[in-house]
Amino acid sequence: MLKKVYRNELEEGMRFSAPVFFDDGKNMLVSKGAPIKARELYALDRWKINYVLTVGVPVSADELLNKKDDEFASLDEMEEIDEVEELDDIENASELVEGFSNAESSQMDSLNYTSEQILKLPEVLVNDELYRAYHELISSLDEVFDDIREKREIKTRGIDLIVNGLVTLVNNNRTDIVGFILGGDVQEMELAKSSVNVAILSIIISVHLGLPRHRVLQIATGALLHDIGMLKIPSSIISKESSLDETETQLMRSHTFYGYKMIVNELLYADEVGKAAVQHHERWDGDGYPGRLAGQNIDIGARIISVADAFEAMVSPKAYRNSMVGYKAMRNLLADNARRFDPDIIKAMIQSMGIYPVGSIVLMNNSSIARVIESHKEAPLRPVIRVLIDEFAKPYTLNEGELVNLMDNRTLFIARAIDPAEYQKRI
């Protein structure tokens, strides 16, 4: 049974015979046998946590050394329990990182930083050559979409150049470019931006699955053009805030057929590319549209794009709702239980991007705030992070914060993903 240990009873260097948890009983402060350090005590004080929970009792370092190996697990063994390699383990991992209580979250409002300062990419990254290349590809696709709207001649060479550019960027800078999806600041060109982001995610999943290059290129092209049929739908329906009636719903769903026709008949791409448009709303359980296809009958490209599109939609702000943090979007995908999505595609998405996708903002157990910059396939819960605000509340706004590989630093771990919108500017 978990017992309370009050803050005034804790001292630097204390060790316990079992893991010690924050007062929510879910997030670990220190592992079994690990000494409590000054930064852990500082975190408790900063977040006004009055007690911690443990089933253990205080023990000395000598007692730990005299214990048999099977009585006290090492710190590394304790941490390995949290690592995720299989889909079932990933689903269970969502129980490991539930986040701080509302009371703790309310303390964040006392910090004198705006959501923009924390969410937006540092200026040194926004001006980086890679970011400019990413933005230029969005602009190029937006020009293609404008040509379609205006019924001007479309040359597929322009689309192919965008696809090749994206594949090259992803292959050479995968972690950095994924960070733009969560932390970028492209405010306009919504359809083009969404399409480029879906293509980036689709390329990453396709490469992770080991698909041949020609299929990766086809899937990337399909991802860029999967919603091209929306250009044929009246804007009054697309922007309608109230529920669509039956006729409007059917018209909206017809964008899949419009897209297929444009891709195959007008742009003369292969049928595999067209399937991305016509099948990306099919569901793994057969309850999608337009063909009510199920399982393996859905083209693998469409299955990949469906997952990428869902994730991108969740993490992008919409007129009718705020964006979702990447961790929560991943959890939503994990909770699908083979209804909408192919479980193997979900697994590939998690393994290639991590539970905390690149660009995620996270709160660490020492109360520092960091941005995830790289994930580990073998340990999705232990990415590489860069500190944005350290445990002493010092901000690093020029991307100069400490770089920490959580695979190497076993005493530091993510307490929870945070929404930068939680931070309010003090007046």
Residue range 371-383, pLDDT digits in tens:
888 888 777 788 9
On whether the CB atoms of residues 411 and 30 are closer than 8 A, the answer is yes
Residue that is written with structure tokens 């337009």 in the block:
290
C-alpha span between 221 and 280 (Å, rounded): 13
What pLDDT shows up at residue 380?
78
Best CA proximity match to 232, nearest among 253, 255, 248: 255
Structure tokens at 12: 């630097």
Residue that is written with structure tokens 């490209």 in the block:
301
What pLDDT shows up at residue 125?
56
Residue that is written with structure tokens 């709303």 in the block:
281
What pLDDT shows up at residue 379?
79
Best CA proximity match to 325, nearest among 374, 372, 270: 372
What pLDDT shows up at residue 367?
82
What pLDDT shows up at residue 41?
87
Q: For 115-353, CATH number? A: 1.10.3210.10
C-alpha span between 144 and 258 (Å, rounded): 16
What pLDDT shows up at residue 106?
39
pLDDT in tens, 95-149: 333 333 333 343 444 444 544 555 555 554 555 788 889 989 999 999 999 999 8
Residue extents of the structural domains in the chain: 3-81, 115-353, 361-422
pLDDT in tens, 50-67: 888 888 889 887 766 565
C-alpha span between 30 and 54 (Å, rounded): 10
What pLDDT shows up at residue 400?
83
Q: Is 389 helix (H, G, I), strand (E, B) or coil?
A: strand
Percent of the chain whose predicted confidence (pLDDT) is above 70: 79
Low-confidence ranges of the chain (pLDDT < 50): 68-112, 114-115, 124, 320, 424-427
| Beta-bridge partners for 370 | 362, 387
Structure tokens at 180: 């733009």
Q: What is the pTM of this model?
A: 0.72
Residue 218, class by beta-carbon neighbours within 10 Å (0-12 exposed, 13-18 middle, 19+ buried)?
buried
Best CA proximity match to 373, nearest among 96, 173, 101, 149: 173
Q: What does R_g of the chain's alpha carbons equal in angstroms? A: 24
- Residue 344 belongs to what H/E stretch? helix 343-353
What pLDDT shows up at residue 323?
66
What pLDDT shows up at residue 88?
44
End-to-end alpha-carbon separation of the chain, Å?
A: 44
Which ranges in 209-342 belong to alpha helices (H)? 213-225, 235-238, 246-253, 255-261, 271-279, 300-315, 326-334
